[in-house]
Structure 1
Amino acid sequence: MDIAFSPLTLPNGATLPNRIAKAAMEENMADADQTPSQQLLQLYKGWSQGGAGLLLSGNVMVDCHAMTGPGGVALEDDKHLAKFEEWAKVGQTAGNHFWLQINHPGRQIRTELGQPALAPSAVPLDLGNLSKLFAPPQEMTEVQIEDVINRFVTTSKLAERAGFSGVQIHAAHGYLLCQFLSPLSNLRQDQWGGSLENRSRILFEIVKRVRAAVSPKFCVAVKLNSADFQKGGFDQEDASWVVSKLNNMQVDLIELSGGSYESPVMQGEPAKGSTLAREAYFLEFAADIVKVTNIPIMLTGGIRRRQVLEQVMNSGVAVAGIATALALQPDLPNALKRGEDPNPQLAAVKWWNKTLAALARMMVIKYQLNRQSQGLKPKLSVWPSWALLLGLWSGNNRAKLYRKQMEMKE
């Protein structure tokens, strides 16, 4: 455990006080104006005091018209920057780093939000009967692609002004940049599609321009899928190539994850494999990537026990990302440092519809986050079906409020 609680100096010279990160979870707790709420401040203050060396926010959108869900945070101008300054301050109470995860949903935008879904190609999500919950995607024009690139840059500059110590560019889990990377969702024949080099172009442009726009001490990270886990999709060989190219772009940390809404492996455990494989989903690939990159690697997916954390650290992975376990026990890093092994976990949701099961599991996690944001203890006995219904009801109300806000802006 000495490795996990030792400092890590990143390529830009910034130092994380330890190698445990609170990985991103989508909280959907923004105020009506899509700014950080007091609930969010309460959450991140608790996580800062809980001992993680790095906190990563849930999705912060670069465009208020393109949200991953109702109740999300957006940062596209300095109109409410004071609220972000307060969030940055409370999230770094204990001297840890706090980075904003910045994102665009692409085609993964819900119909109830009433906004168009932009994507590299007009390829809809394949979720069976649940596909209708998402807006049909429109193929992006060159002008729209350039606008999105500029939005990532603007949000990064604003994040630095607000006092955050870095940003993480989200190119995983089936969101827009991940859609560009995948040959299944990117059917373009121009400079943004076709070869892997072209499909990666938007990510590389964003990374280069963000790095040039912020100060050297400000951290720039990327979240990347190790694979989409779909036949013919973005695979581990593709991911290795992308990482090799990022080596020369002054990236400070790469987080490896996997899956998408269509193949939500990041939300649940594989059916087969060793205990370690079930608890650190993407470790084998991460251990291989460590050998071929000079960028520190962060691994997220199921880590919660001392033994697993030790094996992750011993593999050469630089940072262990913990998400769900910190929704259940925000001071887990401090507990591990004291020599304890509380092993907080949720029961698996074993429904026949994997997409619906993943959604229910996500709602169970959000249920715990809501309790934590109100100073309440987790309630692990909550039924997934109840958490799902409660989450859908809350989401529906937030969606109505969001649509009203958008109408007022127009």
Structure 2
Amino acid sequence: MTATIDKNNDSASQRDAARLGSQLTLANGVVIRNRFFKSAMSEQLGDNNHNPKPGLATVYQRWAEGGIGINISGNIMVDRTALGEPKNVVLDEQSDLQAFRHWTAAATQGGAHLWAQLNHPGKQSPMFLSPQPVAPSAIALGAGLDKAFKTPRALEDAEVWQVIGRYATAARLAKDVGFTGVQIHGAHGYLVSQFLSPRHNQRDDQWGGSIENRMRFVLEVYKAIRKEVGDDFPVGIKLNSADFQRGGFTEEESMQVVKALADAGIDLIEVSGGTYENPSMMGSEKGRDETVKESTRQREAYFLHYAEKIRTLVDTPLAVTGGFRSAKGMQEALDSGATDFIGIARPLALVPDLPNQVMTNVNYQMSFTVPSTGLKELDRMMMIDLVWFEQQIHRMADGKAPKENLSAWKSVWMTLKGMGGHAFKTRRA
């Protein structure tokens, strides 16, 4: 990672930087202090009962003090029998609500927002966690993932409504414990995404078939949440621009879903894309430089072109996540009008005060390379491009600074130490 800082900014540059630091007021009157939006990252800081460990408060307070406007939590699961990863946090009636209040009090200092990302994995729950996962249809994951993820059982109609109720309960509890908003995880192949995809949803009832039926699940989730939290509590969604799979959720369908959610009153839409069968959201840091167009590379943001399209359809605030590495690229994205928030994830695991640095230094830029053990199969098995960032978050949770030269082998060792035998099992689709 490298960072370039120029302390001799002229007045014009300072005015440009103020744009990134400007407030935005949501339609319900909630004020966001600036345009920096921390997208969700895997933290793996839930305890044995899936309550938040104290370290979550430590690291999120650091991000709050670093200047972030909206902090989106890592996956908070709505059903403790359906986990995506071994140390997920769960928010339900069995949760230790005081542990959550400790987290939210620390993370909202200075006016930062903390929104709970609510999720159900559906079929994307590894077999060592879910011997019998559920999904819209009994269709296995592809791309060789069926070896680690069992073919799901199709949800019955009554069970679909039960899952919707769990989202609503988690949202009600999130408001009670001090989160300042919630985000529905509707991307990356999890349950909401599975319902939207004609590849994974082949039902012939009210939940499947046409895009109007396939989007019914996410709209009912939103309605149930809104009924619990009221109109003045922000509810957002993370949504795929497309699945980038043959027979999957298309860009055209995504735009229909965006329009329907906007009409229903959603407060903020974060744009992403891909699934863990085809992880386009990982971008070039997943080793896919050849798939990233030069125009996208120059603009930094992976999904900005899609955001430009939906901007013509809705006035709902948008956040575009993925690829931002410089103050210039962030400012240009805002100036384009395609996005209202700059979504950042992995850079914040290395530079927790990145928003403050960018707002005061318009020439700021950074780059980083995920290290390798030198053994490609080990890197793949241990998901080094995931656990290396998790270990940076764990360092901050322990009160330490991120370590840009943290070795891949050290990351492997710390993951093994923390997860035991689970570390050798596929825990992400």
TM, length-normalised to structure 1: 0.91
TM superposition shift of 1:29: 0.7
Query: Aligned partner of 2:71: which letter?
Result: L
Shift in CA distance, 312/93, structure 1 to aligned 2, threshold 3 Å: same
Please say if residues 267 and 361 of structure 1, whose CA atoms lie closer than 8 Å, have aligned partners that are also in contact. Answer: no
**Amino acid paired to 1:63:** D
1:378 equivalenced with 2:402 (yes/no): yes
Structure 1 letter corresponding to 2:257:
V
2:388 corresponds to: 364
Residues of 2 paired with 1:294 and 1:24: CA distance? 23
Partner residue of 1:167? 182
Q: Quick one: distance in 1 between partners of 2:214 and 2:371?
A: 35
Write the letter of the residue equivalent to 1:370: H
Q: 1:5-39: CA deviations, max 9, x gaps?
A: 11101111101011111111010111111111111
Is residue 89 of structure 1 aligned with residue 113 of structure 2?
no
Q: Which structure would you say has the larger RCO, counting Cα contacts within 8 Å and 6 or more residues apart?
A: 2
Contact 1:256 1:282 in 2 (8 A): yes
Within the alignment, does 1:308 sit opposite 2:329 as a pair?
yes
The answer to whether the 8 A contact 1:31-1:37 is kept is yes
1:7-406 mapped onto 2 (5 Å cutoff): 7-77=23-93, 79-128=95-144, 130-269=145-284, 270-271=289-290, 272-274=292-294, 276-277=296-297, 279-316=300-337, 317-339=339-361, 341-347=363-369, 356=380, 359-384=383-408, 387-388=411-412, 390-391=414-415, 394-397=418-421
Does the Cα contact within 8 Å between 1:335 and 1:341 map onto a contact in 2? no
Contact kept? 1:255, 1:299, Cα under 8 Å = yes
Matched position secondary structure for 1:144: helix
The one-character-per-residue Cα deviations of 1:82-120 (angstroms, maximum 9, x if unpaired) are 111111111101111110000000011011224421111
Aligned amino acid, residue 104 of structure 1: H
Contact 2:416 2:423 in 1 (8 A): no
Structure 1: which 5+ residue stretches go unaligned?
401-410
SS in structure 2 of the partner of residue 56 of structure 1: strand
* Secondary structure in 2 matching 1:2: helix
Deviation at 1:366, TM superposition (A): 0.8
Q: Are the aligned partners of 1:71 and 1:398 in contact in 2 as well (CA < 8 Å)?
A: no
Looking at structure 1, the residues matched to 376 and 333 of structure 2 have their Cα atoms a distance apart, in angstroms, of: 31
Q: What is the CA-CA distance between 1:343 and the residue it aligns to?
A: 3.2
Matched with 1:3 is 19
1:393/1:109 CA distance change after superposition, 3 Å: farther
Is the partner of 1:113 in helix, strand or coil? coil
Q: Could you tell me how far 1:123 is from its partner in structure 2?
A: 1.2
Aligned residues: 398
1:107–1:148 CA distance, 2 compared to 1 (3 A) = same
Within 2, Cα distance between the matches of 1:312 and 1:392? Answer: 40
Distance 1:389 1:15 in 2: 43
State the partner residue of 1:407: none
Distance 1:226 1:318, change over 3 A: same
Q: Is the 8 A contact 2:241 2:272 kept in 1?
A: yes
CA distance in 2, matches of 1:395, 1:142: 36
Unaligned runs of 5+ in 2: 1-16, 425-429
Paired letter, 1:377: A
User: Post-superposition shift, 1:188?
Assistant: 0.9
Distance 1:235 1:386 in 2: 40
Cα-Cα RMSD: 2.3
1:136-177 residue CA offsets vs partner (Å, 9 max, x unmatched): 211111121111000000000000111111100010010000
The amino acid of 1:265's aligned partner reads: S
Q: Percent identity?
A: 38
The whole-number CA distance in structure 2 between the counterparts of 1:44 and 1:34 is: 18
Deviating beyond 6 angstroms after TM superposition, the runs of 4 or more aligned structure 1 residues are 349-353
Q: Which moved more, 1:79-88 or 1:374-383?
A: 374-383
The structural deviation recorded for 1:232 is 2.0
Aligned-pair CA distance for 1:358: 10
Q: 1:197–1:349: structure 2 CA closer, same or farther, 3 Å change rule?
A: farther
Give the Cα separation in 2 of the matches to 1:234 and 1:359. 26
The code of the aligned residue for 1:83 comes to A
TM-score, normalisation: structure 2: 0.87
Question: In 2, Cα distance between the equivalents of 1:48 and 1:184?
Answer: 39
